[in-house]
Chains A and B, each alone.
Chain A
C-alpha cells in the first residue's frame, strides 16, 4: 500500500537569494545587456529631466535647487518667458517656422516619395541621390550655401524669416521621403493592382486606396518634420537677420554660452513639451490608422523600411 506523501512546504527564498538566482540563471536573458540598456536610458534622459526641474527653481541658480516656483515661466516681471520679449518672440518664431515647414515640406515630400518609388526611368537614380544628400550634409555646409545663395543669387529673399522657412523645408523634404518610402515598401503594389483589376482609374486608385494606406506615414513624417524644425539651430542661425528672427535653439545657444538663467531651461522645456505633444499626437493617429495591421514586428518593419536608404 502506497501513500502519497504530503508535499513538504518550502519557505519562499529571500529577496537576496532570488536576485542571485535571477543573475545566475543560465537560461535567462543576458543580464549585462539589460542593466547596460537601462543605464543608457537613464544617462540619456535624466539630465534633461533635471534641466526641466530647474526651470521651476525659485532662485536664479541652475545648479542649486531652492524651491518650486513658476517664476521663470510667467512670474518674474522682467526675465520670465512671458515677460521677456526676446524669449517670447523666439517661441513664436520657432512655432512659425515649424508650422510653415510641416505645411509645405510634407506634401512636397509625399509627392516626391511616390514619384521616386514608382519612377524607374532615366533620371530617377540622380533624383534619388539628390534627395539623399541633405540627410548627410553637415548643417554648416548647408547654412553657408543657403546664406550665399540668398545673398547672391536669389537676392529677393535676403536673410530673414522667409529664408529660414525655405531652408527648413529644404532639409525636411528628405526626411518625409525616407519615412513615406519605408511605408510604401511595406505596403507593396498589391492594393493598387487590386484596385486596377477592379476597374479603378489611376487617380482613384491613388486617392482612395494608396493615400489612406499612407496616412500613418504622412502623419508620422509631419510629426518628425515639426520636431526637426523646432530643433534646428545652424540653418536658423545662419539665415537669421537678428533679433526677432531668432528661434528657441538660438536663444538657448546664446544663453548657454553666456550664463543662462532658469528662464532658458523654461523656454527649452516649453519647446520640448510642445514637440512631444505633437509627436505623441502623431503617434496616436498612426496607431489608429494601423490598428488593422498591427502584429508583432510590423510596427518596427516600418522603421526598418525607413532606413533602407539605398
Chain B
C-alpha cells in the first residue's frame, strides 16, 4: 500500500498543522503575558541593615577578625548549680566520623545516658533539618559562618559558662572570647585548621614553600596533569584564587573580584586538568593525587591512618601561608534548642574541652587539632605524633588575632555571588 504524496502518514494535513501551531503560539504568548505579571526576583534576603551596613541572616552584624560581634541572647541561659539529667538518650549532631566514638561511650557511662551520633551532610542542611523538626539532637557542631543562622533561627541555646570551666582553663586565649561569638555566648571551640597546600615530595619537584607566591604552583603544574585538585568548597576555591593575587579580603562581595578569581581558576582546566574533591586526606598519602589544596588536619590524619606501608613519611609535605595571609577556621560546638538535657549538654561541652579527651580525639581519631594550650608543634613532633616535615600543619594561638584571615558570614547577596561563581567554575565551560 503506497501513500499518496498528499496523504500524511500520521493523518495530519498542512491545515491541521497550521491550526495547531497557531493555537500553540497563542497559548505561549498568553503564557508570556501571564509570566510578565508574575514576580521576577532572585533576591533571597535583605543585604543591608537599618543604617546601610551589610548584615547577615536575621539582620545580625557580620563578624570579622577585626570586628568583634556579641550576639544577642534570644532567651536566658539556664541557672547555675543544677544537677545533670541522666537516663535516656543523648544525641550528638555532627559531620560523619568527626568525633571519637570511644569518648562518647565514656561520657555516656559516666552520666548514665545512651549517647547517639547523628550525622549531617553539611551544616546548612543539618540546620535545616533541625529547624524542620526532623531531628532533635542535644548538641551540634557548628562553624562561625553558620552560627548566625543558628542564632537568628533560634536553633542554638545561650550558654552558662559556669558549667564549662575548661574553656578558660585549657583553651587558647584568642578563642575564649572569639570575634565571631563575643563572650562565648553560644559556642565553645572544637577544632582549628588552616588551608594550605599538601603535596607529594616524591613526585612534585618544586620547592613550594620557597616560592614567592606558593599558590602559583597550581598555575605552573602542567607536569602533573590529572593529579592536581582543589577542595570542593566554594569559599576555599575562590578564596585561594584571591589570595594568590594578594587580595586578603577573603570575605569580599565585590563581583569584579569574585568573577576575576573564577576566571583565574578556569585557567587551571587547560593547565593541569584540575579536579575538585575532598578526599585529600586519603588520595595524597595513597599517591593518586600529587598536589592538593588541603586543610592542616588532613595531612596529620593522612600520616596517622592512610599512609600505605612502604611510603615514607617524608613523602608528604604541607605548606601554609604566614600569619595574616593564611585562612584559619575553627569549628565549634553549640547546644541545640531542641535539647531536653540542657545541663548535661553543658557538661558535654566541658567534657570536649578536657585536655585528655580533646587530645585523644585529635591523636587517636580525627587528626584535627583542638585549640589546647598544652599542644604545641615541637611537643607533637617530639612525641612522634607529627613527623618533622609536617610541623607546618600544627597551629598555635599566635596564628589567630585581629589581623588573621577567616571565612566569615556573608550577606545573602554575597553568598549567592560566591555560590554562582563556584557553579561557573564547576561547569567547566570557557571564559
Complex Cα spacing A155 to B133, Å: 10
Which residues on the B side are within 8 Å of A155 (C-beta)?
132
Residues of A255-271 contacting chain B, CB below 8 A: 257-259
Q: Is B415 an interface position by the 8 A CB rule?
A: no
Q: Is B134 an interface position by the 8 A CB rule?
A: yes
**A242, B121: Cβ atoms closer than 8 Å:** yes
**A158, B134: Cβ atoms closer than 8 Å:** yes
Q: Is B119 an interface position by the 8 A CB rule?
A: yes
Complex Cα spacing A160 to B120, Å: 12
Which residues on the A side are within 8 Å of B286 (C-beta)?
259
Interface string of B26-47 (1 = CB under 8 A from A): 0000000000000000000000
Which residues on the B side are within 8 Å of A257 (C-beta)?
277, 279
For chain A, give the interface size range. Answer: 10 to 19
Please pick, from A151, A158, A159, A242, the residue contacting B119 in the complex, using a CB distance under 8 A: A242
**B96, A243: Cβ atoms closer than 8 Å:** yes
Beyond known contacts A60-B308, A242-B118: 6 more, CB 8 A cutoff: A158-B129, A158-B132, A160-B134, A258-B282, A259-B282, A259-B306
Which residues on the B side are within 8 Å of A151 (C-beta)?
132
Which residues on the A side are within 8 Å of B129 (C-beta)?
158-159, 241
Residues of A within 8 A of B (CB): 60, 151, 155, 158-160, 241-243, 257-259
Residues of B within 8 A of A (CB): 96, 117-121, 129, 132-135, 277, 279, 282-283, 286, 288, 306, 308
26 pairs, CB–CB < 8 Å, chain A vs chain B: A60-B308, A151-B132, A158-B129, A158-B132, A158-B133, A158-B134, A159-B129, A159-B134, A160-B134, A241-B134, A241-B135, A242-B118, A242-B120, A242-B121, A243-B96, A243-B117, A243-B118, A243-B119, A257-B277, A257-B279, A258-B279, A258-B282, A258-B283, A259-B282, A259-B286, A259-B288
Given contacts A60-B308, A259-B286, contact A242 B96 (CB under 8 A): yes
Which residues on the A side are within 8 Å of B283 (C-beta)?
258-259
Which residues on the B side are within 8 Å of A241 (C-beta)?
129, 134-135
Complex Cα spacing A60 to B305, Å: 13
Which residues on the A side are within 8 Å of B96 (C-beta)?
242-243
Most chain-B CB neighbours within 10 Å: which of A151, A160, A241?
Answer: A241
Complex Cα spacing A155 to B129, Å: 11
Nearest CB of A to B279, in Å: 4
List 4 A-B pairs, minimum CB-CB distance, nearest first: A158-B134, A258-B279, A259-B282, A243-B119
Complex Cα spacing A257 to B276, Å: 11
Complex Cα spacing A151 to B120, Å: 16
Which chain B residue shows the least CB distance to A159? B134
Complex Cα spacing A169 to B220, Å: 52
Which chain A residue shows the least CB distance to B126? A242
Which chain A residue shows the least CB distance to B133? A158
Nearest CB of A to B303, in Å: 15
Nearest CB of A to B205, in Å: 24
Which chain B residue shows the least CB distance to A259? B282
Nearest CB of B to A200, in Å: 42
Which residues on the B side are within 8 Å of A242 (C-beta)?
96, 118-121
Which residues on the A side are within 8 Å of B118 (C-beta)?
242-243
Which chain B residue shows the least CB distance to A152? B132
Most chain-A CB neighbours within 10 Å: which of B96, B117, B134, B286?
Answer: B134
Nearest CB of B to A161, in Å: 12
Which residues on the A side are within 8 Å of B279 (C-beta)?
257-259
Which residues on the B side are within 8 Å of A60 (C-beta)?
308
Nearest CB of B to A159, in Å: 7
Nearest CB of B to A57, in Å: 14
